Chain A
Amino acid sequence: MANLTGKQNKRCLQKTWNCARYRLKQLHDSEKVNGYLFIAPLTIGVVVFSILPILFAFAMSFTDWNSLSTPQITAFANYSKLLADPNLKIELRNTFFYALGTVPVTLILAVLIANALNQKIPCRGLFRTIYFLPVVTMQVAVAMVWRWLLNSQFGIVNQILGFFGIEGPMWLGDTRFIMFAVIIVTVWNKLGYNTIILLAGLQGISDSYYEAADIEGASSWKKFTKITLPLLSPSIFFVSITLTMDALKAFDIIYVFTGSGADSSSSPMLKAVRTMVYGIYENGFINMKMGYACAEAVILFAIIMAITAFQFYMQKKWVYYD
């Protein structure tokens, strides 16, 4: 640009500068650019700290990794062994039974209790705190207390059943009942947490809807089904998705109720409640077959993925977004 005069040069620069500023302003206002910028820090974090480890575990599912020696590639050996493993069938059945037993009950109870705690009732703050206490209480204490409550001779549950003339079972010592005990304790444990989430969802519903309904003389039931449920549906959707995922990944409570890993894998009690994640834990951390455990985790992942995708597909039918 040697043949340009100084004035021309300056004008050219000015133009470039304006152009750059205009582009920058465009970028600043662009929905797309902002969208990517806003999700960038979180997405990078999730990729580094969660997705990379997951990909590593996925790769290991094709090897004989035992976390000590160098893994050798065994292709699909883990998967074909798993499909023939009788424990997998038991674990699949138990996992689904547990999920079907816990998710709908927790969901319905949480919706009802959240609505009750959102009413103008005396001691509302106290009630909210009480219903949230299971979340705050240490898990050690929770497990201990429930072992006592469900004790076949002295436990309160059986004493109450006895009061009605029913002979209570040996909850934790009978293969037919231990799963029900696990389900009861899970519902109790998850209830407070999900109630709080739904309570926050209820807080987001504008009073003006209810005022309008009052003017038209709508009944409480009508208000609940026509206003509360549709407007709460995004929160209900969230709770049902996370409850399902957690149920399919159940481990802690089963671990505690079957003797914290002390029971041998052939124990009938363990057989009655062992879930897929229990199997993953046993294979990977007790039998040190990490590659095999990774393969089982991949299968579980595929199942949860399919169920979640289905729930997302179904949401169009019942979830209401503004």
Chain B
Amino acid sequence: MKRKHKIEPGKVLLVLLLSLGGVVMIFPFIWMVLTSFKTFAESVALPIVWFPKEWNFNNYAQVLEKLDFITYYKNTIIYTGVVLFGQLFLCSLAGYSFARLKFRFKNLIFFLILAVLMVPPQMTLIPRYQMMNYLGWVDTYKGLIIPMIPSAYGTFFLRQFFMTLPRELEDSAKIDGCSYFRIYWNIMLPLCTSALVAYGIITAIATWNDLLWPLIVTNSNSMRVLSVAMACLQGQNGTKYQLLMAASVLSTIPTLVAFIIGQKHFIKGIALTGIKG
């Protein structure tokens, strides 16, 4: 603590290494943005043309003209929002129960849920679609959203975090006569804010970019989400990379903003509660 204002050689090295790695990580993103401003000839030229000769928004104008972005944004926001909050609630509730409560067959049920993650998704696609067809949920929000909410992955993720929290707080709440739901809602959830934020960010982005399920379960233009629209654009203009990249930038911006806001909330949850470890 004393050396706070001195430059530490260890930290300088760390920042240097992180910057070096950062260049590798940021590169495709920069490339995506640069290409979205290029002309077709520039986008496929070899040797590589790094910067477009003229910076203009032609590609963006074309994409916006071709695609009904407002509908797609609306559908994607509904899809992502409901799946996100549905998952956060169901998975954290079950995750808390799996981590802390005692009941028979708990580990068996947990491993059964985990087993779902071991099956390649390609396998369950057709039976699941047939189920939606049987229920009459094809091309509806219900069919798009509801099967995506019960997540085995999210339950496993949040269970691992509940396992790490100290038991003392819970025990004292139990002595005070708190119900289990109150313990979960008022004590456990606030303690794992950073886990919920992290899971929220990755789920929101995974759902936002999810292609397979929306592609299969929706078919009308008014039900389409961004990822499907992108895939269709790719199908029609397979090699017009500059258009694809412009559309990619447009659909990536909301997730990027969400991440930048979200990562500020990586605050120390436990340190604030004042419990000794």
Contact = CB atoms under 8 A, between A and B. Distances in A.
Interface of A: 28-29, 31-32, 34-36, 38-39, 41-46, 49-54, 56-57, 67, 113, 116-117, 119, 121-122, 125, 127-142, 144-146, 148-149, 151, 153-154, 188, 191-193, 196-197, 199-201, 203-209, 214, 220, 231, 234-235, 237-238, 241-242, 245, 249, 251, 277, 280-281, 284-285, 290, 293-294, 297, 300-301, 304-305, 308-309, 312, 321-322
Given A39-B94, A46-B150, A31 B101 contact: yes
B14 interface: yes
Given A44-B150, A141-B32, 4 more contacts: A32-B101, A121-B14, A204-B192, A281-B122
A290 B125 CA distance: 12
Interface of B: 1, 10-11, 14-15, 17-18, 21-22, 24-29, 31-32, 35, 46-48, 90-91, 93-94, 96-98, 101-104, 106, 109, 111-124, 126-128, 131, 146-147, 149-150, 152-153, 155-157, 160-161, 163-167, 179-181, 184, 192, 194-195, 197-199, 201-202, 205, 209, 230, 234, 241, 244-245, 248, 251-252, 255-256, 259-260, 263-264, 266-271, 275-277
Given A45-B90, A132-B259, A204-B192, A196 B270 contact: no
A31 B174 CA distance: 11
Contacts of A128: 263, 266
B18 A49 contact: no
A36 B98 CA distance: 9
A245 B116 CA distance: 11
Nearest to A132: B259
A138 B153 CA distance: 22
A42 B91 contact: yes
Given A136-B252, A206-B270, A308-B118, A321 B163 contact: yes
A205 B270 contact: yes
B122 A280 contact: yes
A220 B10 CA distance: 11
A117 to B, nearest CB: 8
Contacts of A191: 25
Contact of A35 (B103, B123, B166): B103
A206 B270 CA distance: 6
B94 A146 contact: no
A230 to B, nearest CB: 11
* Chain B, interface SS category: helix
Contacts of A197: 157, 198, 202
Contacts of A209: 277
A43 B109 contact: yes
A289 B21 CA distance: 44
Contact of B123 (A139, A206, A241, A293): A293
A234 B93 contact: no
Nearest to B226: A138
A118 to B, nearest CB: 9
A34 B22 contact: no
Contact of A154 (B29, B47, B97, B127): B47
